[in-house]
């Protein structure tokens, strides 16, 4: 656009004939004007069809052109002597340097096999030269990223000698994205993954839930709530179909979990209730184990025979900051759930601020970890694994971008992501729209049972099918009770009722 404007100015200044100048100005300014209007009126289309492709073209051209210099300056090239016979040929390509003593040498970079772009990412596919390893290429990635002014980078081994170095050229995670109320489940019921936010290349980030135990680690204010509600809110339609049951443990007086109380089958806010919840889930595991032995090796959730998700807001409150007996018992029960529950359809999502072994002794039993902002490189190593502090510096995530995290992908690569933001209002709306069909009253003393089953269609599910396997203390409510058979609570708002009547009496409103 600036180019078009300059051209128009130049035309008006240099052209003596006013008519010709006017024609030139229109010819030069016209496209600029069109582009300007396009950018202002339809920014998405402009980015998609013009700005994005031209930016990516520029990145590819830059990479191809500068590769010999880039590789040399980043320590990837080697200098070799050139035999006299090949001088002439090599000199033509400009690679040969002749010294004053008459010997000639050239810099040999690793081969740049391909240059790919997608979204905001420029990927260099590089084959290690003879005598070089992919680790050598990997070690040069930070220098390559700095030379390209990349925001961050990630590496992925393509073959034993080929490495993809993906440079993220623009920061696409700076702006907060608000989560949306999920759509009700369609006929293709699935609970395998939930979309939590965006990756650094701008694509959607989905977390595998079924068959995984997830540990979310981040210091205070890093955005653990977004991860927790991203999973619980994302699963909400499945909760409504009784394809998933959420079991909450929030020993920080229930302040977090009580916000969406109606999504949960039960919420434990005292150590005693937490132990009872863990024991109950262990019983589910035992019963399912017996039922599945010799029949299936991986539980397949279905309405009434759901995936159970144990959601723990501050794990340390259960495993470290409580009395010795509770700590010991909670750690034992949790370790059993973590080792036996995955295949039997009982998974854990736990959030914690401090990842040290003395706080989370069973850290190694979680099958995936999410590292929000951490306090030190040492913590990054604890959460994501050895050698990750440089590749995935979670301790350098900006406090100004809560919800940002580093995750380890299926193939072992590391990626930066940012969760969408769940406001209190959205959590309440999700809880009101997709309230759980089966609620466990036994653990929570005076939960206002009737409120959340209002207006619930049966949705064709059979919530009590799994109840028999849950032991005698279970007191399910299927939501089939007709409105007329219950005592009405005139004018009492649903959220206020639920939080005011939680076992601790410390719902969000009370807090």
Q: Which residues bind ligand ATP (CB under 6 A)?
A: 176, 218, 220-226, 353, 402-403, 419-421
Residue 223 or 393: the one with the smaller Cβ distance to ligand ATP is 223
Q: How far is the CB of 321 from ligand ATP (least distance, A)?
A: 13
Q: How far is the CB of 485 from ligand ATP (least distance, A)?
A: 40
Nearest Cα to Cα of residue 132 among 153, 106, 163: 163
Q: Is 222 annotated as a binding residue?
A: yes
The helix (run of H) or strand (run of E) holding residue 307 is strand 307-312
Residue 66 or 423: the one with the smaller Cβ distance to ligand ATP is 423
Residue 223 or 508: the one with the smaller Cβ distance to ligand ATP is 223
Q: How far is the CB of 353 from ligand ATP (least distance, A)?
A: 5
* Cβ-based neighbour number of residue 127 at 10 Å: 17
Q: Is 75 annotated as a binding residue?
A: no
Tell me if 479 sits within 8 A of 488, measured CB to CB.
no
Q: Is 218 annotated as a binding residue?
A: yes
Measured at the alpha carbon of residue 216, what is the angle toward residues 215 and 218, in degrees to the nearest 5?
A: 140
Tell me if 260 sits within 8 A of 433, measured CB to CB.
no
Residue 198 or 213: the one with the smaller Cβ distance to ligand ATP is 198
Q: How far is the CB of 422 from ligand ATP (least distance, A)?
A: 8
Say how far apart CA 279 and CA 273 lie, in whole Å.
10
Q: How far is the CB of 205 from ligand ATP (least distance, A)?
A: 11
Max alpha carbon distance in the chain (Å)?
103
Q: Is 327 annotated as a binding residue?
A: no
Residue 224 or 245: the one with the smaller Cβ distance to ligand ATP is 224
Of the chain, the end-to-end C-alpha distance in Å amounts to: 54
Say how far apart CA 230 and CA 236 lie, in whole Å.
10
Q: Per the structure block, which two tokens stand in for 417?
A: 């992501």
Question: Between the CA of residue 460 and those of 240, 456, 479, what are the distances in Å?
Answer: 11, 11, 12
What one-character DSSP code corresponds to residue 156? Answer: E
Q: Is 376 annotated as a binding residue?
A: no
Q: How far is the CB of 355 from ligand ATP (least distance, A)?
A: 13
Residue 248 or 304: the one with the smaller Cβ distance to ligand ATP is 248
Q: Is 40 annotated as a binding residue?
A: no
Residue 260 or 341: the one with the smaller Cβ distance to ligand ATP is 260
Nearest Cα to Cα of residue 384 among 137, 119, 154, 135: 154
Q: Is 221 annotated as a binding residue?
A: yes
Q: How far is the CB of 215 from ligand ATP (least distance, A)?
A: 14
The residue number with the shortest CB distance to ligand ATP is: 403
Say how far apart CA 437 and CA 439 lie, in whole Å.
6
Q: Is 219 annotated as a binding residue?
A: yes
Measured at the alpha carbon of residue 379, what is the angle toward residues 373 and 380, in degrees to the nearest 5?
A: 65
Per the annotation, where are the binding residues for ATP?
218-225
Per the annotation, where are the binding residues?
218-225
């Amino acid at each position: 656009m600036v180019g078009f404007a300059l051209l128009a100015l130049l035309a008006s200044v240099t052209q003596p004939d006013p008519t010709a100048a006017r024609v030139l100005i229109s010819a030069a300014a016209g496209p600029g004007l069109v582009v300007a209007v396009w950018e202002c009126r339809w920014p998405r289309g402009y980015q998609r069809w013009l700005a994005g492709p031209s930016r990516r073209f520029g990145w590819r051209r830059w990479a191809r052109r500068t590769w010999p210099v880039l590789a040399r300056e980043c320590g990837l090239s080697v200098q070799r002597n050139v035999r006299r016979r090949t001088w002439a040929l090599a000199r033509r390509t400009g690679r040969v340097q002749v010294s004053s003593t008459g010997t000639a040498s050239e810099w040999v970079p690793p081969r740049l096999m391909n240059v790919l772009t997608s979204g905001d990412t420029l990927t260099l596919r590089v084959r290690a030269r003879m005598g070089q390893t992919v680790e050598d290429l990997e070690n040069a990635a930070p220098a390559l990223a700095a030379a390209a002014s990349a925001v961050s980078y990630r590496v992925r081994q393509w073959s034993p000698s080929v490495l993809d170095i993906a440079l993220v050229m623009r920061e696409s995670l700076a702006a907060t994205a608000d989560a949306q109320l999920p759509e009700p489940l369609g006929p293709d019921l699935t609970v395998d993954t939930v979309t939590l936010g965006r990756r650094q290349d701008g694509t959607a980030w989905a977390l595998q839930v079924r068959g995984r135990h997830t540990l979310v680690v981040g210091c205070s204010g890093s955005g653990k709530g977004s991860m927790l509600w991203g999973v619980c809110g994302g699963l909400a339609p499945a909760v409504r179909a009784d394809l998933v049951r959420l079991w909450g443990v929030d020993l920080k007086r229930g302040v977090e979990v009580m916000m969406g109380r109606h999504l949960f089958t039960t919420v434990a806010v005292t150590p005693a209730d937490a132990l009872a919840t863990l024991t109950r889930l262990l019983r589910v595991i035992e019963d399912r184990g017996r039922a599945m032995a010799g029949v299936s090796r991986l539980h397949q959730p279905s309405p009434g025979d759901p995936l159970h998700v144990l959601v723990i807001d501050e794990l340390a409150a259960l495993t470290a900051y409580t009395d010795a007996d509770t700590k010991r018992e909670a750690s034992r029960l949790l370790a059993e759930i973590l080792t036996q529950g995955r295949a039997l359809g009982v998974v854990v999502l736990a959030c914690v601020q401090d990842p040290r072994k003395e706080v989370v002794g069973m850290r190694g039993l979680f099958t995936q970890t999410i590292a929000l902002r951490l306090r030190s490189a040492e913590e990054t190593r604890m959460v994501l694994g050895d050698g990750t502090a440089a590749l995935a510096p979670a301790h350098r995530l900006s406090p100004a971008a809560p919800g940002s995290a580093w995750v380890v992908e299926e193939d072992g690569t590391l990626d930066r992501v940012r969760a969408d933001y769940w406001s209190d209002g959205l959590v309440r709306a999700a809880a009101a729209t997709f309230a759980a069909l089966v609620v466990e009253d036994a653990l929570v003393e005076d939960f206002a049972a009737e409120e959340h089953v209002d207006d619930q269609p049966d949705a064709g599910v059979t919530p009590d099918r799994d109840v028999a396997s849950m032991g005698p203390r279970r007191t399910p409510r299927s939501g089939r009770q007709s409105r007329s058979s219950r005592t009405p609570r005139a004018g009492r708002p649903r959220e206020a009722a639920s939080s005011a009547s939680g076992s601790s009496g410390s719902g969000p409103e009370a807090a």
